[in-house]
Amino acid sequence: MDADPYKTPVAELENVVQSLRRSVWWKVYFWIVFIIQVMYAGWIVADPNSLDANSWDYLSLLIYVPVLLAIFGFAYIRTFLTRSFWQYFFVFMVMWDLWYGFLLEDWSDVLEQGVLVLVLTIGLILFFTIPQYIAIFKYGYRDKELWSEISS
């Protein structure tokens, strides 16, 4: 027993909030993707003929609502839906992007521009989608501390 009864007690607890801090870049990434999606949605609704929009494009807009929710939840350490939902959604998102982005999309205009434009286009797409996949994957599979907070 301690000899000083007036000594402040010390607890050996890990600061959970500190361990769940995210880089400011995830927040910046979320807002960039959010602004792009809002601009795209406005453009596709206001002038669908300029983009040759079809029903798949409108469906893609709806699918990207949970993507934004996942990136927001990951960046700002908030829980939405369930962890298992995001695990399944991650797999769905990868399959959707491959199918929609590479198989369903008409790449003939890009191919006519040359190989450099094709490489730059694919590079730009990957620049935005790889962080998206990382965020959704970590949100569903790696953030055990975050999900354990809501279950306790």
Q: What is the pLDDT of residues 45-95, one digit of tens each?
A: 887 676 667 777 788 888 889 999 999 999 998 889 988 999 999 999 999
Reference 83, options 137, 43, 33; nearest CA is 137
Tally of residues, the chain: 152
Nearest to 135 by CA among 78, 73, 66, 62: 73
Identify the residue with better confidence: 5 or 123.
Answer: 123
Say what the pLDDT of residue 16 is.
46
152 pLDDT above the threshold of 50: no
Direct distance between the N- and C-terminal alpha carbons of the chain, in angstroms, rounded to an integer: 33
Residue 81 CA to residue 59 CA, distance in Å, equals 21
pTM: 0.74
Average pLDDT, the chain: 82
DSSP assignment string, 117-140: HHHHHHHHHHHHHHHHHHHHHIII
Distance CA 28, CA 34 (A): 10
Token code pair at residue 14: 């890990």
pLDDT of residue 8 exceeding 50, the answer is: yes
